Amino acid sequence: MAAVNPWRENRLPDRFPAIVQDAMVIGLFALIAALVLQERVFATTAVGAVVVGFALQDTLGNLFAGLAIQIEKPFRVGHWVGIGGIDGQVTEVTWRATRLRTRSGHFVVVPNSSVGKEVITNYSEPTRENRMEIQVGVSYDAAPNTVKAVILDALRDDPLFSGAPPPEVVLAGFDASAIAYDVYVWTTEFAFDYRVRDRIRSRIYYALRRHGISIPYPIQVEQRGEPAPPPPAGPAVAALASVAILAPLTEAQRLDLVETGRRLLFARGEAIVREGEAGSSMFVLVAGEASVTLAGAEGELRRLGAGDFFGEMSLLTGAPRSATVSAASDCDVLEIGVDSFRRLILGEPSMVDAVASAVSLRRAELERHRTERVAGASVLPEAPHSLLARVRQFLGLSPL
């Protein structure tokens, strides 16, 4: 027992914890006393056990709980732990209590018997990475995917944040005056979590402000039957100006199409139209990017950007959608319905020839791609004069 004597200067506390060493020494002395002074020890044992048991029940509870802590090692000196709602760094484990130092610099002494009854959270094991959660409210006017991208970009490459796992942003709910987002960031700086939270909030604030995204004041708005204001028409009118089949239109006619059309917002990954579905409208991409794919063909057929259009065959002939178009990023789209287009054409019948010619070229290009990339496809392109007749018939115009 001399090798583990707690009074030895070269003892190994990590292998033989102090409380365990002391208990072993006391137990050894008790065993020797029982062997040498058997009669006297046994005579007083019964009465002494009862007295000592009642007098020292709290102390003995703390003692045995301290022994269990040292043997099981749910935490070590230097670990950050949470015990009974108190977070602190373990500085010492004695016979009676465990001593914690809080972030505020205060010492908290927790009796070992209480430690044994409480749920213990060890923030330092199995790894030092801990997840911080911050919630931020953002204006309803900002698209969720845009908000997520801005926040994630703001949290990149900060030394206070752990590189793995990467930060995450999830939409948490629709509150009274804002959309709530939960931001999750991993860090190894648990002792300075207030600094980490400050850095997260500051970076989010400046990033949102740079991108013109507001964090609303906590207000309560009561709205009765008043629709949200329409998006500005300027970008949509500019997009229409670059659409080949609408080139003959005047500025006033384009504005009329924008006002009678529908502005739609699609999130990244959503399908705007699906191949084979019925339709009677066309779409103009005002902002964002979209991907065109064909059933049976691998990869992307074409990437569309602002000013590109699709779905014109359904608008002009009522034909099913000839391809699937999905949002490659958040997309602001103008949908032009057949009623608005028919009214415009009736005022300018001469536009039909130019529109049908442009559509015929687009259709021929699509069918060429289909025969090249889809196995077994052999679709013959429709003659321009036949397409023009179909357009006139569908729009209710007199035949040539």
Phi, psi of 293 (to 5 degrees): -135, 155
Residues 332-388 pLDDT 10s: 999 988 888 877 776 666 666 667 676 777 677 766 766 766 555 555 455 555 666
Contact of 53 with 59, CB cutoff 8 Å: no
Residue 288 has pLDDT above 80, yes or no: yes
Architecture of the domain whose range is 234-395: Sandwich (2.60)
Contact of 161 with 186, CB cutoff 8 Å: yes
CA distance 75 to 68: 11
Domain extent listing, the chain: 1-55, 130-210, 234-395
| Amino acid (one-letter) located at 100 | L
CA distance 21 to 15: 10
Residue 163 has pLDDT above 70, yes or no: no
Per-residue pLDDT at 49:
53
User: What top-level class would CATH report for the domain 130-210?
Assistant: alpha beta
CA distance 345 to 356: 12
Residues β-bridged to residue 180: 137, 173
Residues β-bridged to residue 93: 98
Tokens of 160: 């206070």
- Which residues, 6+ apart, have CB-to-CB distance to 117 below 8 Å? none
Residues 183-221 pLDDT 10s: 998 887 777 778 888 988 998 999 999 889 999 987 665
Residues 3-15 pLDDT 10s: 544 444 444 444 4
Question: Which contiguous run of DSSP H or E holds residue 290?
Answer: strand 290-293
E strand map for 59-167: 80-83, 86-93, 97-101, 107-111, 120-122, 130-138
Alpha helices in 211-337 (DSSP H): 234-241, 251-260, 312-317
